[in-house]
Every structure is written in C-alpha cells, then in structure tokens.
Amino acid sequence: MATPRKELSTNSENRQTLAAACDVNDVLADISLRWKMQILYCINEGVAQFTTLKKAFPTLSDQILGKRLKELRAESLITASDIPETTPPQIRYATTEKGRELLAIILDLHHWGLKWKTVGNNYCTVNR
C-alpha cells in the first residue's frame, strides 16, 4: 500500500532539477558534448566545411559531425551559407558573435587548466 511505484526516471528529472536551480548547468551540459568546442574552434579558425572538418578529425564519424553542426546552428553559435558555383552544392560555416564569446571563455578555461596542471601528471587524479 505504501510504495506508489515511481513512474519517471529520476535521471532526467534530476537534469531538470539542476537546470531549474541554475541555467549554467544547461550550458555546461551543452558545451561538454564531445567534439563540440573543438569543431567550433576549427570553424573559427577557417576550417569551415563538412569535409575539411572530417579530415581535421579522422576518428570523428560523419554522424556525430552532422549532429554537432546541427546543434551548433540551432544554438546560433555558427551560421551556414551556400558557396555558389560549386559542383556538388557546398556549405561554408562561420562562427557568430555568440560563438566567439563562448570560445573566449573556453580559452580562459584552457588557461586555468594549464595553470593548475601538476607537472608530469594530469590535474585530475581520479580514475576514469
């Protein structure tokens, strides 16, 4: 009689709980998706097409690359535009102001990581 048998996964519930507590949890979840910031960085550096990005990361699959580009566009971190007069229609990506500001913060994070890295070892000693 007592146990009402919980229906919903507390996994996704907790994600919502955290997002409700503070927006930054959503931001963290978004930017930590694998390859995402790396792709954004490359686009900002001029490696701006599907195929050139693929060459930049040989172990990154088409599927994830396409997914990440779609996400980045949906979040307005990059824009996509057709390159005219190309044999198979091609697309060039470019970072937005929003994307460039994010990259600046990621760079701060990078510097923080370097600053506090213990020599000869990772700053994170937790087993993975």
48 closest CA partner among 61, 65, 34: 65
Query: Is 63 an interacting residue with respect to a copy of itself (CB under 8 A)?
Result: no
Q: How far is the CB of 50 from a copy of itself (least distance, A)?
A: 18
Number of residues that bind DNA (CB under 7 A): 31
Q: What share of the chain is helix, strand, coil (3-state, %, to 5)?
A: 55, 10, 35
Query: Is 47 an interacting residue with respect to a copy of itself (CB under 8 A)?
Result: no
Site for DNA in 54-113 (CB under 7 A): 59-64, 66-67, 69-70, 80, 83, 87-92
- Residue 90 binding: pick among a copy of itself, DNA, none (C-beta 5-8 Å cut-off by kind): DNA
Cα gap 3→30, rounded to integer Å:
36
Query: Is 51 an interacting residue with respect to a copy of itself (CB under 8 A)?
Result: no
Cα gap 38→107, rounded to integer Å:
11
